[in-house]
Structure 1
Amino acid sequence: MYRFLLTSRWWGINVFVLLAIPFCIFMGSWQLSRFQARVDSSHQATKQVETDRTEAARPLAELLPVDQNTSGRQTTATGRYGKQLLVPDRQLDGKNGYYVLTLLRTDDGKALPVVRGWLPGKPDAAKAPAAPTGEVTVTGSLQASETPGDNGVSAQGGLPSGQTAAISAASLVNLVPYHLYDAWITLDKGDSGMTAVPASAPANTGLDLKAFQNLGYTGEWFVFSGFVVFMWFRLLRREVEFARDAELGLVPEDENDENEEAAHATV
């Protein structure tokens, strides 16, 4: 009854199944390991942000360019405040509001974007406290330039004058008359009564969309391996039924041939 397993067609089916199942399991396990690595990275990054707050601040020049090792580190810079902008649609503690962003002009001729704090409600330049005058020294957490569309950063264009959607050199270059650092800092203590903006974890270390894509791919690979096994048993049962019916004379030879051809076409 099972002599059909020795045919070339079934040899091909069996070889495919024996290769496909371990391949699917391997790919699913690999995607799962990628997700787990992102989970571990997220936990480590969160702990690192807390650790960075207690470290002594270092000069800005020592921490540039910003990378995963320097993002979130305490830094200090000296200069004079210049142009001020508002960053709308920023949430803090579940409330919607905006950042007050002021450019700090340093002695080397560049300007450093400084988030002096957060205010609730819609952006209002009249309510945003003016920056201190004269030379100031600021201390805060170093952050990498934002990318519009990532991690909740708005990609909205056409904002009113005096506003920017993202805090990055690319977004600010046409808004301010300064050469810019490709970085920004958020003050440890909110300036002029504003709420301080917490530092965020470095890019590609959180549980973002890519992390959950890895988890989704894990499920897809495991489901596909189960589907391969299901189809193998389905074809096997179909062939056994045809063979049993043929032995009992319940299926004419011609009809049996047609059924076999239909089974071949299904594969």
Structure 2
Amino acid sequence: MYRFLLTPRWWGINVFMLLAIPFCVFMGSWQLGRFEDRVQTSRDADKQVEAARTEAARPLTELLPVDKSTSGNQAIATGRYADQLLVPDRDLDDRQGFYVLTMLKTADGRALPVVRGWLPGEADPAKAPAPPTGEVTVTGALQASESPGSNGVSAVGGLPRGQTGAISAASLVNLVPYKLYDAWITLARADSGMTAVPATAPSDTGLDLKAFQNLGYTGEWFVFAGFVLFMWFRLLRREVEFARDTELGLVPDAEPNAEPNAEPGEEPSARPDAEPAQVPDPADGRTPVS
């Protein structure tokens, strides 16, 4: 009954199944590993930010350029405050507000963007306190430059004068007349009654959409493996039932009433056991009905 498994057709089906199922399991396991790596990276980044808050501050120049290992570390810089900008549409503790961003000009002529604090409500220059005068030394968490539009707001276009949508040298180059560090810090203690902005984990280290896409792909690959196995059993069952019916003579003919040797368009001959047509006899006086 199972001799059909040795036919070329079933050899191809079996080889496909034996290759497809391990491939689907491998791809599902790989996607699951990618998701677990992203989860672990997110945990490590959070731990790094927490540990950086308790570490001693280091000079800014020792921490540049900013990468995943230095992001969130406490940096110290000395200079004089200059231009001040507002960064609208920034949430803190589920409340909408804005950052007060002030440029700190250092001795080498470059300026460091410093987030001095957060205020609730719409961005309004009248609400932002003026920066301290004279030479100051600031300490805060070092952050990498943001990508323009990362907060859903254009870096410059569409914003009033004195506002920016992203904190980066590329976004601020047309707003201030001097060179900038490709980094910024947020003060551990905010100035003048503002709320301090906590440091955030480096980009590409959190559970973003890509992480959950990996998890979704994991489920899809395992579903594919189950589907291949299901279809193989279904084809096998149908083949076994067909072979059993053939052995028992239960497989019906394709066209039971058709003559096997009849040509196309030819009328089939009368059946041997059919009665001949009755022809009326004129002698009996009856008129045949047409």
Q: d(CA) in 1 for partners of 2:158 and 2:202?
A: 28
**Residue range with higher mean Cα deviation, 208-217 or 64-73:** 208-217
Q: Are the counterparts in 2 of residues 74 and 139 from structure 1 also a CA contact under 8 Å?
A: yes
Q: Is 2:149–2:166's contact at 8 Å kept on the other side of the alignment?
A: no
Alignment partners' CA distance in 2, 1:209 and 1:32? 15
Q: Which runs of 5+ in 1 are unaligned?
A: 256-267
Partner of 1:216: 216
Task: After TM superposition, give the deviation of residue 253 of structure 1 in Å.
Answer: 6.0
Q: Which residue of 2 aligns with 1:163?
A: 163
> Who is 2:244 aligned against?
244
Correspondence 1:154 to 2:181:
no
Secondary structure at 2:84 match in 1: strand
TM-aligned CA deviation for residue 236 of structure 1: 1.6
Secondary structure at the residue paired with 1:115? Answer: strand
Could you tell me which residue of structure 1 aligns to residue 142 of structure 2? 142
Q: CA deviation at 1:214?
A: 1.3
RMSD: 1.5
Q: 1:250 to 1:148 in 2, by over 3 A?
A: farther
- Please state how far the C-alpha of 1:251 moved relative to its aligned partner: 2.3
Q: Is the contact between residue 20 and residue 228 of structure 1 (CA under 8 Å) also seen in structure 2?
A: yes
Query: How many angstroms does 1:163 deviate by?
Result: 1.2
Distance 1:22 1:149 in 2: 43
Distance in 1 between the 2:145 and 2:218 partners?
A: 32
Residue 8 of structure 2: aligned partner:
8
* Partner-residue secondary structure (3-state), 1:192: coil
1:179 aligned counterpart, secondary structure: coil
The number of residue pairs the alignment matches comes to 253
How far apart are the structure 1 equivalents of 2:160 and 2:235?
65
Distance 1:149 1:19, change over 3 A: farther
Cα distance, 1:250 vs. partner?
2.7
The answer to whether the 8 Å contact 1:102/1:113 transfers is yes
| Aligned partners of 2:149 and 2:165 also within 8 Å | no
Q: Structure 1 residues 31 and 165, CA, compared in 2 at 3 Å: closer, same or farther?
A: same
User: Any unmatched runs of 5+ in structure 2?
Assistant: 256-290
Shift of 1:84: 1.1
Deviation of 1:155 after TM superposition, in Å, equals 3.9
Q: Structure 2-normalised TM-score?
A: 0.83
Report 1:118-267 matches (<5 A).
Answer: 118-150=118-150, 153-156=151-154, 157-252=157-252
* Percent sequence identity over aligned pairs: 78
Q: Matched residue of 2:36: which SS?
A: helix
Q: For 1:224 and 1:148, how far apart are their aligned partners in 2?
A: 40
